[in-house]
Amino acid sequence: MPQPRARRTVLVPALPYLRIGTTESIPLDEFRRVLDTNLTGALLGIRAAAPSMRKAGGGAIVNVNSIAGLTAAPGLVAYSSSKWALRGLTRAAAKELARDNIRVNAVHPGIIETPLAYDPDGNPIVPVDNLAVPRNAAPDEIADFILLAASDQARFATGSEVLADGGYMLGAIA
């Protein structure tokens, strides 16, 4: 009879703090707040979870990143900066923790149907009409990618980045 797999601890830092502002217009305190939330928050989560994961014999960390961590997002300089830096944190942690059987991966969602998909006036931040999949993602669609990355089905992946954007990064279609 097959032995059941040991339970593993999973950490999913999902820190989507966003403030609109360009390199010249965003107040420095807001820039720092975005970095503190999106990047430092993930670091602190990893620091807190790693010892118990190590003690348990392993675990999985799935950083929820963004397409803003893969391409420029004009007007979102702080958010983009934090998400690009999160890529580096993901890979550094993956290298540091791999020998402890702790996997660290990232999911890069496209636009998710949440309040962050809209500006303060209620207008879409990103128009979707000309995209391959012309809609925002439902939160559960992204959750499925996170569950996969955290599961034993992804047990050989660490330092990986999964794009879950409905074709956003493909660009507009004709």
Structure tokens at 72: 């420029």
Structure tokens at 52: 């118990």
Structure tokens at 93: 């942690």
Annotated active-site residue in 17, 79, 118, 168: 79
94-145 tens-digit pLDDT: 999 999 999 999 999 999 999 888 888 999 988 888 889 999 999 999 999 9
Question: What is the side-by-side order of every strand in the sheet holding 102-109?
Answer: 9-11, 59-64, 102-109, 161-164
- The rounded distance, in Å, linking the Cα atoms of 80 and 69 is 6
User: What's this model's pTM, rounded to 2 decimal places?
Assistant: 0.89
Catalytic annotation on 79? yes
Structure tokens at 53: 């994961």
Q: Measuring CA to CA, which residue among 48, 47, 39, 50 is closest to residue 15?
A: 39
Band (172; pLDDT cuts 50, 70, 90): confident
47-103 tens-digit pLDDT: 999 999 999 999 999 999 999 999 988 899 999 999 999 999 999 999 999 999 999
> Taking the domains of the chain in order of start, what are their residue ranges?
9-166
What CATH class has 9-166?
Answer: alpha beta
The stretches of the chain forming alpha helices (DSSP H) are 28-35, 41-56, 77-97, 139-150
